[in-house]
Amino acid sequence: MSLKLERRADTSLPAEALVLLASILLATMVGAVVFAAVGAPPLSALWVLLREPFGSSFGLSETILKTIPLAFCALAVALALKIDMWNIGAEGQLYMGALAGSWLALHGPNLPTPLRLPAILLAGALGGAVWAAIPAMLKVYGDVNEIISTLMLNYVAIAWVEYFVYGPWKGADGFPYTATFHESWQLPLLYRRVHVGILLVLALALLLYWAERRTALGYEVRVVGASVRNAHYGGIPVLSRLLLLMAVAGAAAGLAGVGEVSGVEHRLHAGISPGYGYTAIIIAFLARRNLLATVGVAFIFAALVVGGDGLQMAFPQVSSAVVQLLQGTLLLLVLTGGFFTRYRLVRSRGGR
């Protein structure tokens, strides 16, 4: 009797979920080894990692809070992947959304109060959309590789924010952040620090998921993603669909930025995102580009972030890099595990 790999005819959902679960378990074991190596008791460290994000109502609310920007940005990456565009620029789109929202709140026209929240969300979405449209246009009209252009524009976006918070928009106390937004520009809170952004991101994910399956635009995007030549042949306006999709992706990331300035910080500063846009790339991949799954995976990653913060407080010898190491291990394991959703082990009889 021997074992043999055979290609599965179809990938199954239970298999994918199993792989994700097994990967989390394995990554945890790797984490335990690392904790032991730096001198933290592995079991209690792991317990902190688990207790911190879920163990208390405060921890849970923090996890949900971190889910918001991660999920928005992951949607931005996953959407672009639908047409084989690599949006490495969610980070920059987030910053531009934050910048646009802050401009409106601090220096924009004096809008009537009930219009202010819709307006700031719109401004943020627009900021992100414009920032994502630039690499999309470069790609469409200049054949510029979007991986490079989206990545580079991150630095430009961050530099713009720095210019404003160190310069013209510097607050009265002289520190590199803006004045606090007036209350009418702040997103309402639902529970502790969790703002309405969580409802917005859930609604957006559902809407996009539905649009992908049920609308003509969704169908067209699927055709473009499957074969650009076929889309041209069928008369689908490929360039405009590509621009539209990237703009929507950028808008999602821009909303993440607005959520941070208007819902959490209530002011703009240069470190508004600790790299949500980059973590989002990992999330989009782990979610296999599935728009609904991105929200779930974002929640898991938010838990990792919150747990990691708690870990550093409980064990000073554990550096923040350990959490990144765990994230990386998880990605590696899931990508490897993807192999087993495509192949299966079969027993073969006899043979000499």
What separation in angstroms does the CA of 220 have from each of 82, 185, 240, 244? 11, 37, 11, 12
> Residue 37 is encoded by which pair of tokens?
């190596």
Interaction between residue 347 and another protein (CB under 8 A): no
Q: Give the shortest CB-260-to-another protein separation in angstroms.
A: 32
* Contacting another protein within 287-346 (CB under 8 A): 346
Q: Give the shortest CB-340-to-another protein separation in angstroms.
A: 18
Interaction between residue 29 and another protein (CB under 8 A): no
Q: Give the shortest CB-219-to-another protein separation in angstroms.
A: 6
What separation in angstroms does the CA of 210 have from each of 126, 205, 218, 298? 22, 8, 9, 19
Can you tell me which of 12, 113, 240, 348 binds another protein, judged by CB under 8 A?
Answer: 348
CA distance 31 to 47: 12
Can you tell me which of 189, 190, 196, 217 binds another protein, judged by CB under 8 A?
Answer: 217
- What DSSP state is assigned to residue 346? E
Report residue 166: phi and psi, to 5°: -90, -20
Query: What does the DSSP assignment read for 8-54?
Result: -SS--HHHHHHHHHHHHHHHHHHHHHHHHHHTS-HHHHHHHHHHHHH
Using the minimum distance from each CB to another protein, give the nearer residue, 5 or 321: 5
* Contacting another protein within 185-214 (CB under 8 A): 213-214
Report the 10 Å Cβ neighbour count for 342. 12
Q: Give the shortest CB-350-to-another protein separation in angstroms.
A: 6
Interaction between residue 113 and another protein (CB under 8 A): no
Can you tell me which of 12, 113, 145, 230 binds another protein, judged by CB under 8 A?
Answer: 230
Query: What does the DSSP assignment read for 292-322?
Result: HHHHHHHHHHHHHHHHHHHHHHH-TTS-THH
Can you tell me which of 51, 170, 222, 289 binds another protein, judged by CB under 8 A?
Answer: 222
Using the minimum distance from each CB to another protein, give the nearer residue, 194 or 224: 224
Interaction between residue 240 and another protein (CB under 8 A): no
Can you tell me which of 132, 223, 242, 251 binds another protein, judged by CB under 8 A?
Answer: 223
Can you tell me which of 47, 166, 219, 340 binds another protein, judged by CB under 8 A?
Answer: 219
**CB contact at 8 A, 285 and 90:** no
* Residues binding another protein (CB under 8 A): 2, 4, 6, 9-10, 213-219, 222-223, 226-227, 229-235, 346, 348-352
